[in-house]
Amino acid sequence: MTRKEIILGITGSIAAYKACDITGLLKKEGFGVIPILTKEAAEFITPLTLETLACGRAFTGMFEPPEEWDPLHVSLADRASLILIAPATANVIGKLASGVCDDLLTCVVFASDKPVLIAPAMNDRMYRHEIVQGNIAELKKIGYKFIGPVKGHLACGREGIGRLAPSEEIVAQVKRLLK
């Protein structure tokens, strides 16, 4: 049986550090992990950290040369069994719902026909905002799956909904979606 590859999209949330734990858990379950960091995510966590944990290249830009000739966003989309975006900011959720693909991660999502699982992480007011909720509803209508966020202590110091779902629950959902 061929090993399943998970694209792990990481966006510019303080919860980006949890991508390390998610990567480790996915690897432990036997998945290959292909990290894609947005420019903003790279402000919170380095590609080198994710490359070390994933035992492979982490991607950060649209115009990195592919390993063999093929448009990078298409070749990565073709490798994926599932695309997991964790953490997902309001920004990336909005871009996906609006059809904006202006970075490698969003281009890979639109070039793929594989399942997409989104794990939001943001301030509680941002998460509850009518536009964010509308964007989530639009993405659910076209089949994107969501996990979390959960209620708890947020980086801004508030208590509320917006924490990234626990890593173990995210990985369990990945396994369910790939059965």
Q: Which residues are catalytic?
A: 156
Cα 58 to the center of its chain, rounded Å: 13
Which residues lie closer than 8 Å to 52 by C-beta, 6 or more apart? none
Question: What is the C-alpha to C-alpha distance for residues 106 and 81, in angstroms, rounded to an integer?
Answer: 16
Dihedral sign (CA 154, 102, 60, 140): positive
What does the block give as tokens for 95? Answer: 């871009």
Q: What angle do CA 80, 12, 133 make, to 5 degrees?
A: 85
Query: Phi/psi zone of residue 16: left (φ > 0), alpha (ψ -120 to 50 degrees), beta?
Result: alpha
